[in-house]
Amino acid sequence: MAANYDLVVIGGGTAGLVSAAGAASLGARVALVERDRLGGDCLYNGCVPTKALVKSARVAHLVRHSEEYGVVSGGAEVDFPAVMDRVRRVIERAGEHDSPERFRKIGVDVFLDEARFESPDRISVDGHRLQARSVIVATGSHSTTPPIDGIEEAGYVDHVGALALRRLPRSVIVVGSGPIGSEFAQIFARFGSDVTLVSTSPLPLPKEDPEIGEVLRQVLLADGVTFHGGYRAEKVRVEGAEKVMTVRNEAGHEVEVRGEEILVAAGRAPTAGSLALENAGIELEEKGLKVDEHLRTTAPNVYAAGDITGKYLFTHVAEYQGRNALRNALFPVKAKADHRVVPWTTFTDPEVARVGLTEEQARREHDDVKVFRQPFSGVDRAMADGETTGFVKIVTGRRGKILGGHIIGPDAGNLIHEIVLAMQKNNPIGTLSTTIHVYPTLAQANQRAADNYYREKLFRNQKLFSAFFGARRLLDRVKPPVNRK
C-alpha cells in the first residue's frame, strides 16, 4: 500500500526544507526525502563553512596588519585544526533548525534515504512507496572536474574535500577562479599556504564586470596568490610530495605550477543521476531540469526548485524558488517565478556584489546607457575603517532606470540591497541620491554614485542657469532687490 501525500519533496537542502516546511504550515500532508542529512550543501559544504573560513582568514589578515591601526601584535599564527573546529561549531549552530525531529514535529514525514521515481506520482524510498499528488525535486548540484590528464592518479579535492582537510597544505593549486575558487584561494593564502590560482579567463570572477575582476586580481596578488589568468590546466604528475601541473594559454605558452594539494572549483552540474527521471517523463538539460516559468518540469505534477533548475546557484534563489514551487505545486492558480532582479555576492575580502546587467550587457541591450561610480577612497567611513579598496558602479538606461549595480568593497553584500530594492520597485537612480543616508556609513558610497547622476544633469544645464543668474544680476542693477515689493 502506498502512503498518500499532497506533496512529496525530494532533497532536504534549502529549497526542499523551505518547500516542505511551507506546505506543512498550510496544512498539507507532506513527505520529505533526503538521502544524507537535512540541511544540504549550503549548511555542510557551502555557504556556512566557507563564510566561517572567510572570517578566520580575515582575522588573520587584520592581525597581520594591526599596526596600521596603531595596535601592536606579535603577528598572526593560524591554528588550522582550531579554525576547522570553529567551522564545525558554526555548522552545528546554524543547523539546529534543520533536524529531522523538528520537521517531524511540524508535521512533515521525513524519510532518510534515496528517492527514485516509479512514475510521475509514485516515488520509492527505503522500501516505501509514496503516492504524490504533486512533487518538488530539489536535489541540488555537485562539482565537476574538467578533463586534466593524470588528475585522478595524482589526487585532488573539491570544496567538500577542502573542508575536510585536517592539516593546512603548504601549497595549493586552485583550478577555477569563479566565486568558490576565488574565495578558497584567498582563504588559503591568508592562512599561510602558497597559493597558485589557475583560470581559463584572464581575470578572476569571469562573470563579473572586468573592472571588478581587475581590482580583485590585484587584491589576490597582494594576498600573495600567484594568478595564471588565461591558462588551462592540461596535465598533472606527482614529484615526491608535490603535484606538478602543466598549464597552457591560448598562444601555446606552457607553465609548470606546483602544489602539495590541488583544489578543483571549475564547474557544477545538476544532481539527478539516481532519480530515474525517465520513469516520470522529466527532461534533464545540461544545466538542470527543464522547467517553465512556474518551475514546472516536463511532468505536469512535478516542480523543481534550487540548484537543480540550473538557473542561479545560490541559497537565496533556492529559498525563493522553494516558496514559488510550493505554491504552484499545491494550488491551481500559478505564480510566475520572477528572476528579473537576482543579486549575489562573492565573499572575498573585499566582497563583490552584483545585481542586474553589467555595463557591457546593458550597452548591448539598451540605448542611452550611463555609468555612475563612486570609489570607496572618497567615502569618509571607508577611510576611517582603513578599507578604501573598490568602488560602487551603477549602470542606468533611459530616465535613470537602474539596469545593474556592481560593488567591490567592504560589506558589498549588504550594500547591494539598496540597489536591489530600487530595481525591484522600479525606482530610478535619483531616489538613491535624494534619500537621506546616515553619516558616516559605507552606504554613502551608493548615494555618492547616484549624486553623480544629478551632477551630470546640472552640468548639462549649466549654461541655462548662467543665463538666468546673469539676467537676474542685470535686473538687480536696474532695481535692487531690497527696493522690490
Tell me which residues touch ligand FAD (CB under 6 A).
10-16, 33-36, 40-42, 45-47, 50-51, 114-115, 138-140, 159, 180, 271, 274-275, 306-308, 313-316, 318, 347
Residues 6+ apart with CB under 8 A from 222: none
Can you read off the three cell numbers belonging to residue 226?
600567484
In the complex, the smallest distance separating the C-beta of residue 443 from ligand FAD, rounded to whole angstroms, is: 21
Nearer to ligand FAD, 49 or 404 (CB): 49
Can you read off the three cell numbers belonging to residue 404?
545593474
In the complex, the smallest distance separating the C-beta of residue 454 from ligand FAD, rounded to whole angstroms, is: 34
Nearer to ligand FAD, 197 or 369 (CB): 197
HSE-up (13 A, CA, CB side) for residue 138? 38
CA–CA dist 38, 14 (Å, integer): 9
Cis bond leading into 350, ω under 30°? yes
In the complex, the smallest distance separating the C-beta of residue 162 from ligand FAD, rounded to whole angstroms, is: 8
Can you read off the three cell numbers belonging to residue 456?
551630470
- Bridge partners of 245, per DSSP, are 236, 257
Nearer to ligand FAD, 227 or 347 (CB): 347
For every residue of 289-331, DSSP letters joined together read B---TT-B-SSTTEEE-GGGG-S---HHHHHHHHHHHHHHHH-
Residues 6+ apart with CB under 8 A from 239: 258
In the complex, the smallest distance separating the C-beta of residue 142 from ligand FAD, rounded to whole angstroms, is: 8
Dihedral-angle region of residue 286 (phi above 0 means left; psi in -120 to 50 means alpha; beta otherwise): alpha
Nearer to ligand FAD, 315 or 447 (CB): 315
CA–CA dist 16, 108 (Å, integer): 12
Nearer to ligand FAD, 114 or 149 (CB): 114
Name the residue among 343, 452, 314, 315 with its Cα closest to residue 391: 452
In the complex, the smallest distance separating the C-beta of residue 44 from ligand FAD, rounded to whole angstroms, is: 8
In the complex, the smallest distance separating the C-beta of residue 263 from ligand FAD, rounded to whole angstroms, is: 10
Residues 6+ apart with CB under 8 A from 251: none
Nearer to ligand FAD, 325 or 402 (CB): 325
Nearer to ligand FAD, 36 or 211 (CB): 36
Nearer to ligand FAD, 6 or 36 (CB): 36
Nearer to ligand FAD, 275 or 379 (CB): 275
Angle at 349 between CA 346 and CA 352, to 5 degrees: 35
Nearer to ligand FAD, 45 or 452 (CB): 45
In the complex, the smallest distance separating the C-beta of residue 140 from ligand FAD, rounded to whole angstroms, is: 2
CA dihedral 139, 140, 146, 150 (to 10 degrees): -60
In the complex, the smallest distance separating the C-beta of residue 441 from ligand FAD, rounded to whole angstroms, is: 23
In the complex, the smallest distance separating the C-beta of residue 39 from ligand FAD, rounded to whole angstroms, is: 7
Nearer to ligand FAD, 51 or 128 (CB): 51
- Bridge partners of 124, per DSSP, are 116, 129
In the complex, the smallest distance separating the C-beta of residue 414 from ligand FAD, rounded to whole angstroms, is: 13
Q: How many CB atoms lie within 10 A of CB 353?
A: 27
Can you read off the three cell numbers belonging to residue 218?
590585484
* Lateral strand order in the sheet of 231-239: 231-239, 242-249, 254-259
In the complex, the smallest distance separating the C-beta of residue 347 from ligand FAD, rounded to whole angstroms, is: 6
CA–CA dist 132, 208 (Å, integer): 42
Nearer to ligand FAD, 216 or 362 (CB): 216
CA–CA dist 473, 195 (Å, integer): 67
Name the residue among 299, 93, 263, 238 with its Cα closest to residue 168: 263
In the complex, the smallest distance separating the C-beta of residue 206 from ligand FAD, rounded to whole angstroms, is: 17
Residues 6+ apart with CB under 8 A from 136: 7, 8, 9, 10, 15, 16, 19, 302, 303, 304, 305, 322, 325, 326, 329
